[in-house]
Structures are given as C-alpha cells and as structure tokens.
Amino acid sequence: MVGRVQVLRVDEGNLDRLLAVAVGDAAPEEVMPPVAGGPGWTTERQAAFRAWHRARRAGLAGPLGESTYVITYEGEVVGSARLALREGHDVLETGMWLGRTHRGRGIGTATVRLLLDEAAGAGARAVVADTTTHNTSALAALRGNGATLTANHDTQEVHAELVLSRTLPTADPRDVRFRP
C-alpha cells in the first residue's frame, strides 16, 4: 500500500523545495522544457524552472490554462504534476515527474487518481497524457487508473485517454489527498 500522497498547488512556500528535488534527484530534461545554455542545473535553468511554475499559478482559468502541483509522499516533496486545457475546456492534459529515488512505490498511480478528481471537479470529461512505450512506470500509473492506451509502434509514442465517466478504482481516502 502506498503511503500518504498529496497534490498541492505550487506556491512560493513549496517552489524551492520542489526545485531542490529536481536538482538533487532528476535531470532538467525530465522535469522542464528545454533551456538554452550548458548542461545540468545552471543558474539560468533554475530561474527558468521557477518562472515556468510561477507563470501557471493562475491555474486553468488563467492565461496559460494550466496548473502545476507539488506531489508529496509522507509529507516530503517528491515531484510535480500538471493539468492543462486541451480541446476546449472539457479535455485536460496531464503530465508528471517524480524524483528518481521515489519511483516504483505507487506514487504515480495515486497522483493520477488525484489529478482525475481535480479534473472532474473542473468539469472535464476526459484527461489525456502522452508518453513512450519505454516509460513503464507512466504506463502502469495510467493503466491503473483505467486509461485507454494507443501506441504508435513506429515512433514508440503512446497516447492515453482517461474518460471521467468511467468508474475509477477506489482509493483508501486515508492514503490519497488533494489540497488546494
């Protein structure tokens, strides 16, 4: 059983803790869009990471139509997730990353479940995600939440769709939490 997983909106109080996890436990290309410059977590790349999350603070109703979240496990920041408007306002796209030392514990599956609850609360009819056939952890988290997966074997890309009218697997309410 996975421990307590929470999803909190990124704010100034947790942004530096999120950046510390990214710098210490992930590569820049795993957690953010490309930034010009040298490799690794340069000062410029860290500033861009902060700016990227701050720009999404207005949430789905804001100009970017996107919200970012800190994922915590047992109270410790372990990664980030996002929801973004796609195809009008009834389809949201999701994505996430977890620090390398926190993968394989069921945190991703629990996080997807929390994001589906948030999407339903926002009035979405579906959530979509894109990954690759090699990302077995993402595929397991998506499958574990009832996703329909469509793979392109030529490109190794996988498109997932989670229709929110389906019955989702029941989570123990003590184990997963969403916090605004």
Interacting residues of 2 by C-beta distance below 8 A, sequence separation 6+: 73, 105, 106, 107, 109, 110, 175, 176
Total structural domains within the chain: 1
Token readout for 135 is 């990302």
- What's the pLDDT score for residue 153? 84
Strands 176-179 vs 5-9: parallel, antiparallel or unpaired: parallel
Which amino acid belongs to residue 121? G
d(CA 128, CA 17): 28
How far are the Cα atoms of 24, 169, 180 from residue 141, in angstroms, in the given order?
24, 12, 22
User: pLDDT tens digits, residue range 83-114?
Assistant: 999 977 789 999 999 999 999 889 999 999 99
CA pair distance 97, 82, nearest whole angstrom: 9
pTM higher than 0.95: no
CATH number reported for the structural domain that contains residue 96 in this entry: 3.40.630.30
Which own/partner contact pairs does 57-65 have at CB distance under 8 Å and 24+ positions apart? 57/9, 57/10, 57/11, 59/9, 60/84, 60/85, 60/92, 60/122
Where do we find the tokens 């397991």? 140
> Based on the number of CB atoms within 10 Å of its own CB, is 71 exposed (0-12), middle (13-18) or buried (19 or more)?
buried
Q: 17 is in which domain, residue-wise?
A: 5-179
Residue 37: its pLDDT value, please? 86
- pLDDT tens-place string over residues 19-70: 999 999 999 999 999 998 889 999 999 999 999 999 999 999 999 999 999 9
- Check whether 166 has a pLDDT greater than 70: no
